[in-house]
């Protein structure tokens, strides 16, 4: 998606070690016009998978998941990283490593919002190592739900996440695929 790629090149920052800072338009300050366009594009790519819910991880995945779910006409559920007192005692919980936090994080979903009848489309801001998305897959599986697709705004192809996720046998889509971030560069795959 050209609009997203241009924004990455103009406002994104390669911080080294595979870290791409996009918090000026994706995940700290959100550009709603860009996120709406991204959600529309992701929804069109997944229009035929029959999703009944969109699942993401807080907080960075919420904007693209929300706009995608809006265009699909289905609810969005986000996995929380901290359990609020309003969440029931029995929850779906998994641990996953966070590259940007440098530690393991918990992801949890209440069973009242994810059930075995659901067809789940996972949407996140990044597809890098695939660990966070696999955590979301585990949550969906724990609920007995079926994962029907995986979408991301930005894929860092050199981190191997797509290869790990391909074993799931579902459609995987990314709007901007980066093939190289060495030496301060941001190079898109074509």
pLDDT (tens digit, 9 = 90+) per residue, 131-146? Answer: 999 999 999 999 999 9
SS3 109: strand
pLDDT band at 85 (very low <50, low <70, confident <90, very high): confident
Domain around 59: 2-188
CATH, residue 129 = 3.40.50.2020
Any idea how long the chain is? 190
List Cα–Cα distances, 161 to 63, 77, 133, 168, in angstroms: 21, 22, 9, 12
What pLDDT sits at residue 97?
Answer: 84
Average pLDDT over residues 89-103: 82
Residue 65: pLDDT band by 50, 70, 90 thresholds?
very high
Angle, alpha carbons 132-175-38 (nearest 5°): 95
Share the mean pLDDT of the chain: 95
Residue 150 contacts residue 168 (beta carbons within 8 Å): yes
Tally of structural domains, the chain: 1
């Amino acid at each position: 998606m050209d609009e997203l790629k241009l924004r990455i090149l103009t406002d994104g920052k390669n911080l080294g070690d595979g870290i791409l800072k996009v918090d000026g338009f994706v995940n700290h300050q959100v550009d709603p016009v860009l996120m709406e366009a991204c959600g529309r594009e992701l929804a069109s790519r997944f229009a035929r998978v029959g999703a009944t819910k969109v699942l993401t991880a807080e907080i960075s995945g919420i904007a693209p998941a929300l706009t995608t779910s809006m265009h699909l006409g289905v609810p969005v559920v986000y996995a929380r990283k901290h359990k609020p007192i309003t969440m029931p005692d029995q929850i779906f919980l998994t641990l996953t490593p966070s590259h940007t936090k440098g530690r393991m994080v918990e992801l949890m979903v209440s069973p009242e919002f994810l059930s075995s009848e659901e067809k789940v489309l996972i949407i996140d801001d990044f597809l890098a190592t695939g660990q966070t998305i696999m955590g979301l897959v585990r949550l969906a599986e724990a609920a007995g739900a079926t994962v029907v697709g995986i979408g991301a705004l930005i894929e860092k192809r050199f981190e191997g996440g797509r290869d790990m996720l391909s074993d799931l046998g579902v459609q995987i889509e990314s709007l901007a695929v980066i093939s190289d971030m060495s030496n301060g560069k941001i190079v898109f795959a074509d």
